[in-house]
Amino acid sequence: MHLLISALVATIPLAIVIWGFERARPKPRDLMPVVVLTALAILGRVVTMPIPNFQPATALIVLTGLFFGKHAGMLSGMLVALVSNMIMGQGPWTPWQMLAWGLVGYGAGILGTLIRDKGMYKSSSSANFNLYIFPVLAYGAVASLLFGMFMDLQYFIAFAWETSWPGLLTTVTLGLPFNIAHAASTIAFLALTLIPWGKKLHRLKTKYNIRPI
């Protein structure tokens, strides 16, 4: 049953990405920044592997969706899970991570659209970005916690289904410190990168007319 659920979970982000790309028909220049940020997220996750749940991957996925669109964010999240797990270990959790991180990127894309409508990208000044850093940090923290709870649900379905509700509560409780560490790392890396990287990504989009996907 768990394998069937995992297969269904894996098809959801894939279908959304294919649908989005068919509509947007992105050019290679639209995809290059997404590829670079995704590669950095994969590398960051692998390098920080010795520190439990403290890694930059979620922050970089959020940046990808924020600046390059919801489908780009979802694609980045899926690839980070799939490719980094080739080193860290594949398993039935991989499709769940692909969906969870894909949804983090998709949500960041929606947030980016809302912020863009409010005028964040009218200029690349630090003052302009400072207005929106707190909503982005809040989103990153909440998304990280929800990612962790979603993966706790995967563990419960795979290994503790017979224990019913007490088992689910125990799984979520034991996972809470790791989920908090994940949220803290996302906040830290977003705080470090949002303004300096955001200004450069904004200029890159403007100079090369890169469209959100």
pLDDT score of 123 more than 60: no
Which amino acid makes up residue 116?
R
Give dist(CA 33, CA 184) in Å, integer: 25
**Sequence-distant (≥ 6) Cβ neighbours of residue 69 within 8 angstroms:** 24, 109, 112, 113, 211, 212, 213
Tell me if 213 is assigned to some domain.
Answer: no
Alpha-carbon Rg for the chain, nearest whole angstrom, is: 17
Quick one: average pLDDT of 29-45?
94
Q: Residue 129: its pLDDT value, please?
A: 62
- Read off the CATH number of the domain in which 130 is found: 1.10.1760.20
Structure tokens at 142: 């909440």
Average pLDDT across the chain, whole number: 86
Q: Which two tokens stand for residue 123?
A: 């200029």
What SS3 state is found at 72? helix
pLDDT digits (tens, 9 = 90+) for 163-205: 777 878 888 889 999 999 999 999 999 999 998 898 888 888 8
pLDDT in tens, 126-136: 555 667 788 99
**Both structure tokens of 144:** 């990280």
71 touches 20 (CB < 8 A): yes
**Phi, psi for residue 69 in degrees, rounded to 5:** 105, 160
* Number of separate domains in the chain: 1
Residue span of the structural domain in which 31 resides: 2-208
How do residues 73-88 score in pLDDT, each as one tens digit?
A: 999 999 999 999 999 9
Residue 123 maps to a domain: yes
Instruction: List the structure tokens of 178.
Output: 């790791």
Is residue 26, in this structure, part of any structural domain at all? Answer: yes
